[in-house]
Structure 1
Amino acid sequence: MITHIVLFKLKDRSPEAVKRTYDVLVNMEGKIPVLRHLEVGMDVLHLERSYDIALITKFDSLEDLKTYDTHPVHEEVKAHMKQVLDGTSICVDFQS
């Protein structure tokens, strides 16, 4: 299994803006066949060094992760993220 974790820091860090992006990410649930697990969390500490949202996804293989990356639903999410991100996201992918 491949675990893909992404952390996002948003331009607008208000609770409403973070919740809107949280909803966009959660909306992928059940819409991408290769996506085996989806978990989205919103930061609770709100420190300067904190990221606003964490996305944890799991796939059966690297090939499935590549399929997810170009899936139309994920493309819509990436378009949203380009508009709301404060800089770039950070990620780690590992075998689990």
Structure 2
Amino acid sequence: MLTHIVFFKLKDRQPESVEATAAVLRNMEGKIDVLRHIEVGIDVLHLDRSYDIALITKFDSVEDLQVYADHPVHVEVLAHMKQVLDGTSVCVDFVS
């Protein structure tokens, strides 16, 4: 199993805006066959070093992660994220 974790900092950090973007991420659930697990978490501590949203996804293989990356639903999410991100996201991919 491959775990893919991404952290996002948003331009607009108001709770309503963060929740709206979290909803966009959650909306992928059930729409991409290779996506085995999805979890979206919103930061509760709001520290200077905190990111606003964490996305945790799981795939059967690195190849399935690439299928996900190119999937039209994910491409739409990427377009949204480009509009709302404050800089770049960070990620970690590991075998679990």
Shorter-chain TM-score bucket reads over 0.9
Identify the residue that residue 31 of structure 2 maps to in structure 1.
Answer: 31
Which runs of structure 1 show a deviation greater than 6 angstroms over 4 or more consecutive aligned residues?
none
Unaligned runs of 5+ in 1: none
Identify the residue that residue 10 of structure 1 maps to in structure 2.
Answer: 10
Matched pairs, number: 96
**TM-score, reference length from structure 1:** 0.99
Identify the residue that residue 58 of structure 1 maps to in structure 2.
Answer: 58
Residues 5-56 of structure 1: per-residue CA shift (max 9 Å, x gap): 0000000000010000000000000000000000000000011211000000
Which amino acid is 1:77 matched to?
A: V
Q: Distance in 1 between matches of 2:67 and 2:59?
A: 10
Unaligned runs of 5+ in 2: none
Among all aligned residue pairs of Structure 1 and Structure 2, give the percentage whose two residues are the same amino acid: 77
Shift of 1:93: 0.3
